[in-house]
Copies of this chain bind each other. A is one copy, B any other.
């Protein structure tokens, strides 16, 4: 099997609305599985599914062990091999990566990948806990450094290296909210202005409220299939053409840089090494903007903007829907929402719809090649996937 070929197809994808949802984690899972199965153009039977991958960090505290078995049950094939994958906020992308490997291995023909998280009904202490556990425990969480604080440190260093930052951060927030306003599944469907951003309260200097992605509930799912089988399920599959992964030290203090995520760079390198196209050929990207600063770092680490130059691209409108390289047309984590385990899968739901020209008012015209970038914690893990029509 040759790397970088269209060996794996996405044949179905769907998500629940993200936001403050009344449903429990098991119910979000159930609703999502139904939506995903019915998203397959020519239909799919439970018996068609060869394996299931569940991405979740806390599953709403409901079933912390063996939750993956629920995926088999809800898919109507209780004996289907399943596994839970957890890489903090990169759990979704990592689950897709496992499914990609399984299909390319020849051991699995069709895989169901679902990410789910239920966060808003947790008490504030538990919510802080489930967010905090993804950063370094010893040197960060137990020392009192919050997750926003970690990214604030990166933002401060970035501003020291590259000059005034707030206008660029505002541009990211304004753009992602504008995109979210066109996404009926987004947590926030509200346009904001740079003034709204600049006058929002500081959360961790220099990051303001509108620099932070929200705490969301939701689930997202995709169905991957061996290329040769795709036509059984749809005439317009999307191809997952390359996968890359990377890690880094959990604690910021141990890393080479505060303004570049090595995990992202490694993941992008692995993906582009296998890809039939280059970074310059990417037509839009869903990147991990858990904070606005993270979108700038992502563009640079992915090779989509020069070092220190991502802010300028954002300010120039290049990353907007009508720009030369739309970033986060879905609204991103910032506006679409960030239900941890669901996030990386939801990025692929967006790409599936965009590459099938079915993204409605937020369609990137004629999009044929896209990138998904999912980060765990403050950059200790990252996954990059590349897609084409």
Which residues from chain A sit less than 8 Å from chain B, CB to CB? 1, 3, 51-52, 57, 62-66, 68-73, 78-88, 90, 94, 97-98, 100-108, 130, 133-137, 243-250, 254, 262-263, 266-267, 270, 274, 376-377, 380-381, 383
Contacts and interface: CB of A to CB of B under 8 A. Distances in A.
B248 A78 contact: yes
Given A81-B270, A84-B85, 5 more contacts: A51-B245, A63-B250, A73-B254, A78-B262, A79-B262
Contacts of A250: 63, 66, 69-70, 73
A81 B377 contact: no
Contact of A66 (B72, B87, B105): B87
25 contacts: A1-B106, A3-B106, A57-B64, A62-B137, A63-B137, A64-B133, A65-B134, A66-B134, A66-B376, A66-B381, A68-B87, A70-B250, A78-B249, A79-B246, A80-B247, A82-B87, A83-B86, A83-B98, A83-B245, A85-B86, A98-B102, A101-B102, A101-B105, A101-B108, A104-B107
A133 B101 contact: no
Contacts of A381: 66, 68-69, 81-83
B133 A380 contact: no
Given A68-B87, A381-B69, A81 B247 contact: yes
A177 B308 CA distance: 63
A270 B248 CA distance: 36
A81 B266 contact: yes
Contact of A84 (B87, B267, B274): B87
A370 B11 CA distance: 38
Nearest to A263: B79
Nearest to A129: B64
A79 B249 CA distance: 8
A83 B73 contact: no
Given A51-B245, A102-B101, A376-B66, A83 B79 contact: no
Query: Which of A70, A71, A78, A130 gathers the greatest number of chain B CB atoms within 10 Å?
Result: A78
Contacts of A249: 69, 73, 78
A164 B371 CA distance: 61
A107 B3 contact: yes
A170 to B, nearest CB: 29
B79 A248 contact: yes
A150 B66 CA distance: 15
Closest 6 CB pairs of A and B: A81-B245, A65-B134, A104-B105, A69-B380, A66-B88, A72-B247
Contacts of A377: 65-66, 69
Contacts of A246: 79-81
A246 to B, nearest CB: 5
Contacts of A88: 65-66
Contacts of A130: 64-65
A94 B383 CA distance: 20
Contacts of A51: 245
Contact of A83 (B97, B100, B244, B266): B97
Contact of A69 (B1, B83, B247): B247
